[in-house]
Amino acid sequence: MPIAHSLTKVQKTIQKSKGAMHPKGRKFKQLSRATLRESKINEKKLHHVQNKEYQNQRTVFFQEAISNREEKDVFGLEDMKLFIEAFLSRDDEEIEQLKSERRKGRPATTRQVLLENKKKEEEQEYKTGYLIPDISDEKTVVFLRNWNGTTGGLGILKFIRISKDTTELPNPEDAMRD
Q: What pLDDT does 50 receive?
A: 93
- Decide if 1 is inside a domain: no
Give the tens place of pLDDT for each residue, 165-176: 888 887 765 555
Query: Torsion angle of alpha carbons 168, 170, 172, 174, nearest 10°?
Result: 160
CB 80, CB 162: distance < 8 Å:
yes
Amino acid at 79: D
10 falls in which pLDDT band (50, 70, 90)? confident
How many structural domains is the chain composed of? 1
The whole model's pTM is what?
A: 0.76
CATH number at residue 155: 1.20.1440.170
Give the tens place of pLDDT for each residue, 112-126: 999 999 999 999 999
- Decide if 85 is inside a domain: yes
- Decide if 52 is inside a domain: yes
**166: helix, coil or strand?**
coil
